[in-house]
Amino acid sequence: MELLRTLSPLFTVQRLPVRCAQLRLNSSQKRRDEFRGHVSSGPDFKDFIRGLPHTQRTAEEHLAETHEYLGEELHVGTSRKVYFETYGCQMNVSDTQIAWSILQKKGYQRTASVNEADVVLLVTCSIREKAEQTIWNRLQQLTAMKKKRVKSHTPMKIGILGCMAERLKTELLEREKLVDVLAGPDAYRDLPRLLAVAEGGQQASNVLLSLEETYADVMPVHHAPRGNSAFISIMRGCDNMCSYCIVPFTRGRERSRPVSSIMEEVRVLSDQGVKEVTLLGQNVNSYRDTSEENFCGSSPTKLSRGFRTVYQSKRGGLRFSDLLDRVSRINPDMRIRFTSPHPKDFPDEVLHLIADRGNICKQIHLPAQSGSNRVLQAMRRGYTREAYLDLVKNIKQIIPDVSLSSDFISGFCGESEDDHQQTLSLIRAVGFNVGFLFAYSMRKKTHAFHRLSDDVPSEVKRRRLAECIDVFREEALRVNAALVGSRQLVLVEGESKRSAKDLCGRTDGNMKVIFPKEDVGAQPGGSSTAPIGAGDYVLVQISSASSQSLRGRALAHSRLRDAVRQCDTLNGLTPGDPVTPGTAMTGNS
């Protein structure tokens, strides 16, 4: 928070050309970061007082130990086995891949068994109290394991990575004495050094946030269990400061990875046969690459109509629509998804691009959080219920077959019964097919923590949440039922978890589809047949729907580049025809 406060004036230098402001920021920030790096890893006054017993030092003082004396050559893994456990959002999945890529280069090995591990790293989430409680419980188990291990063989090192490390900082080391390493979301490059310090028997921590770190040059090791789809981090941090949210404090300011590095990663994945990439960021559609001179005009960022930001409009840079355009041209048979967007960053050009480009999935996550203007204002979301519903209307007009999903929070500070009813009515009005619903969990440091009162009793929060879930299910069922009889292009993920006789895959709208495993036409209308495997695109005739998935029968293999036409033609529509709710054949709305 302090870092964010001190640096914020630098972001509001308006009269300088943006590129120039950026350069100044880069060099001065770099110097500052370097300086802070030295300060945090170098010796301090107490290091010159010989004999000060370690027990008298706080964890922070331990960390100020002179780790500079550990040369680079000692930051190696020497085949030590590292075990990762990832909690929370998809960004953490991507961060795990980055952290692993860094450690792998230093000679660490990865293990899938915690029992074999020399180093256990938990990639953590702080968004709600419950997420943190899960980590605390896991730490108890791991520390018990570690104690047992000390007696038998090599000591196990435990590291906390990501948001919880950032939020709790050294409090974690002090409370949980057996945690050896803390690395915040911008400190993964420092992991080899931190682990080397830990190997020497001391606790080590780096929770510095950066204005620049995007890990652009770290090619993540994609380790997805289903190897046909991959997550690609394109930006980090969030500047929105929604009043309930800890993310701006744990992940820092927004910064975007240069487009060239993203394109390179997508090309590599495409060459490896990956069929679907999901572009990731805390506020993915506010992507703004200022890394090249020619990207930096002075045009202000365009927002969705009727939406505002809490910060001054940012100028120049290559925008999300430019990135989507470039990425989607790499391979027309590769699906492009993105998450998690903010509703404010959907100017028409993004929507038209999604509508026009066959391989950009017609699926938009549109976190609403509440249906009440009073609550939206208290949440500092920057829009009204009316603006949100207008945006939905605009999206459905431009992308008629769009699938919409959302996030909602029940029981935010001051939420009345009437506010809650307005949320239920908004859920009904839109017709989402997937929802992520949460009870409000107060987080320290946030605006709501300082200024608002968490005054909705927990049983009321739970009851309202259950009501939201019920309405969501009803609506999702209605939206999904409209797909019965349609033909959907499904990207096959593999065998269904429930039965080896069935396969499972996803529609363009990201709905799960289950269908029998049987050979089908090698192409639509062809006579030869071929088995279906993970990574194949198949046309599936939908026969039934629940609120969470669809069932059907595969008809033929297909290709993404052919499928838009095939689905529309097969469903008796002319490509581009508007589809009205309830009669949708190719989409969910």
Where along the sequence are the contacts to ligand 5AD (CB under 6 A)?
127-128, 244-245, 367, 369, 407, 409, 438, 440-441, 443
**With 0-12 CB in 10 A as exposed, 13-18 as middle and 19+ as buried, what is 298?**
exposed
**Smallest separation, CB 379 to ligand SF4 (Å):** 8
**Nearest approach, Cβ of 242 to ligand SF4 (angstroms)?**
3
List the single partner that 159 binds among ligand 5AD, ligand SF4, none, CB under 5 to 8 Å by kind: none
Residue 441 binds ligand SF4 (CB under 6 A):
no
Residue from 50, 11, 453, 481 nearest 244 by CA: 453
238 binds, among ligand 5AD, ligand SF4, none (CB under 5 to 8 A by kind): ligand SF4
DSSP character string of 18-47 = HHHHHHHHHHHHHHHHHHHHHHHHS--GGG
Residue 552 interface partner, choices ligand 5AD, ligand SF4, none, CB cut-off 5-8 Å depending on type: none
Distance CA(370)–CA(420), nearest Å, equals: 8
Q: Please state, as a whole number, how many other Cβ atoms lie within 10 Å of the Cβ of residue 172.
A: 22
Spatial contact of 195 and 181, defined as CB atoms under 8 Å apart: yes
Which region among 66-74, 131-139, 236-244, 398-406 touches ligand SF4 (by CB under 6 A)? Answer: 236-244
Closer CB to ligand SF4, 388 or 537, in the complex = 388
Q: 575-580: long-range contacts (C-beta < 8 A, 24 or more apart)?
A: 577/400, 578/397, 578/400, 579/400, 579/401
Residue 88, classed as helix, strand or coil, is coil
Dihedral Cα 248, 252, 253, 257, nearest 10 deg: -120
Residue placing its CB nearer to ligand 5AD in the complex, 291 or 441: 441
Nearer to ligand SF4, 206 or 250 (CB): 250
Euclidean distance between CA atoms 491 and 275, whole angstroms:
8
Residue 315 CB, nearest approach to ligand SF4 (Å): 20
Q: Which of 288, 342, 365, 396 binds ligand SF4 (CB under 6 A)?
A: 342
Q: Closer to ligand SF4 at the Cβ: 125 or 218?
A: 125
**Of these partners, ligand 5AD, ligand SF4, none, which one is at the site of residue 283 (CB under 5 to 8 Å by kind)?**
ligand SF4
Among 121, 245, 402, 489, binds ligand SF4 (CB under 6 A): 245
What distances in angstroms separate CA 216 from CA 163, 212, 255, one per listed residue?
20, 10, 11
Which of the stretches 51-59, 142-150, 237-245, 472-480 binds ligand SF4 when contact is defined by CB under 6 A?
A: 237-245
Choice between 409 and 479, CB closer to ligand SF4: 409
CA separation for the pair 473, 551 (Å, rounded): 17
N- to C-terminal Cα distance for the chain?
A: 41
Stretch that binds ligand SF4, among 43-51, 238-246, 455-463, 545-553 (CB under 6 A): 238-246
The SS3 of residue 79 is coil
Closest CB 131 distance from ligand 5AD, rounded Å: 10
The residue with its CB nearest to ligand 5AD is 407
Half-sphere exposure (Cβ direction) of 477: Cα atoms closer than 13 Å: 8
Out of 203, 228, 283, 304, point to the residue binding ligand SF4 (CB under 6 A).
Answer: 283
Lookup: tokens for 145:
């394991």
Whole-angstrom Cα distance, residue 545 to residue 549? 6
Task: Say whether residue 281 binds ligand SF4 (CB under 6 A).
Answer: no
Options 27-35, 242-250, 291-299, 524-532: segment touching ligand SF4 (CB under 6 A): 242-250
- Give how many residues touch ligand SF4 by CB under 6 A: 10
Q: How far is the CB of 421 from ligand 5AD (least distance, A)?
A: 19
Interatomic CA distance for residues 277 and 245, integer angstroms: 27
Contact residues: ligand SF4, CB under 6 A:
238, 240-242, 245, 247-248, 282-283, 342
